[in-house]
């Protein structure tokens, strides 16, 4: 039998050169919709833009500690610190410990209706504008929020409260303990975790009527006004996100 020629031997040996395979683009996935393709391209563009942003040091926002006398009228105090806080865009105010227990200044019987925005929790990271939600009185909004929470929790086993569990912040369930001292209950912590799960995973479509941007000039705010103390309870309104 004749010996193989060098050319034959080269063919029989495995090649050490790697074959280049063109990577498949995410945007070419057949199951992507036009909307998903658009969001993908938007995310790429945002990523390139953010990568080139200068990294500047950010000073911490200021914290203010008013005295009991200074905080008799919270809105007046906030106005007084505006020149120092405004440059930061945000600040923290720590109310005087033990001496600031404002009464409930919300007029729940008010028939005034305020507008809301329809917010898709699972699409918050897309920075899309909100659509218009319904209009509510305070009592209507509270009823809607309670009904939404009840139905949402009932449909999800992982959010249902554990009857055997106790609230570490208020184990006796004492309603005389101020809310600010109780902290979040176990059920409230579960809801907060659920909110961030929806935001991060974007796996489930959930819409709520967002009622946090209420014009304080028209509806006042949740702070009691010192000027209203002589004319009865302050007519203020406040809303929360469901």
The answer to which of 74-83, 97-106, 214-223 has the lowest mean pLDDT is 214-223
pLDDT tens track for 99-116? 777 777 777 888 989 999
Higher-confidence residue of 128 and 48: namely 128
Per-residue pLDDT band at 233 (split at 50, 70, 90): very low
Instruction: Tell me how far apart the alpha carbons of residues 156 and 152 are, in angstroms, rounded to a whole number.
Output: 7
Q: Calculate mean pLDDT across residues 171-194.
A: 68
Two structure tokens written together for 189:
């912590």
Helix axes 138-154, 186-201, angle to 10 degrees: 80
Pairing of strands 114-120, 207-210: antiparallel
Instruction: Tell me how far apart the alpha carbons of residues 98 and 104 are, in angstroms, rounded to a whole number.
Output: 17
pLDDT tens track for 24-75? 554 455 567 887 788 888 888 877 777 777 777 888 899 999 998 998 888 8
Other C-beta atoms closer than 10 Å to the C-beta of 27 total: 11
Two structure tokens written together for 65:
């500690």
- b (16+ CB within 10 A) / e for 79-110: eeeeeebeeeeebeeebeeeeeeeeebbbeeb
Instruction: Tell me how far apart the alpha carbons of residues 12 and 10 are, in angstroms, rounded to a whole number.
Output: 5
Alpha helices in 1-120 (DSSP H): 6-12, 34-51, 74-85
pLDDT beyond 70 at 147: yes
Other C-beta atoms closer than 10 Å to the C-beta of 130 total: 15
């Amino acid at each position: 039998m004749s010996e193989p020629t060098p050319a034959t031997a080269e063919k029989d040996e495995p090649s050490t050169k790697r074959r280049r395979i063109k990577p498949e683009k995410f945007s070419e996935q057949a199951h992507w919709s036009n909307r998903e393709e658009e969001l993908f391209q938007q995310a790429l563009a945002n990523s390139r833009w953010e990568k080139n942003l200068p990294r500047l040091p950010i000073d911490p926002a200021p914290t203010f500690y008013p005295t009991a006398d200074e905080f008799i009228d919270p809105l007046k105090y906030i106005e007084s610190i505006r020149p120092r806080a405004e440059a930061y865009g945000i600040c923290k105010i720590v109310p005087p410990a033990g001496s600031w227990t404002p009464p409930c200044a919300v007029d729940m019987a008010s028939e005034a209706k305020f507008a809301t925005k329809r917010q898709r929790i699972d699409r918050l990271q897309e920075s899309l504008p909100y659509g218009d939600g319904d209009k509510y009185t305070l009592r209507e909004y509270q009823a809607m929020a309670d009904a939404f929470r009840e139905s949402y929790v009932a449909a999800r086993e992982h959010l249902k409260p554990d009857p055997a569990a106790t609230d570490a912040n208020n184990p006796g369930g004492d309603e005389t303990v101020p809310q600010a001292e109780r902290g979040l209950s176990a059920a409230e912590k579960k809801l907060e975790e659920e909110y961030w799960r929806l935001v991060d995973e974007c796996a489930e479509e959930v819409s709520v009527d967002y009622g946090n941007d209420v014009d304080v000039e028209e509806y006042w705010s949740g702070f009691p006004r010192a000027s209203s103390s002589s004319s009865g309870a302050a007519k203020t309104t406040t809303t929360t996100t469901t």
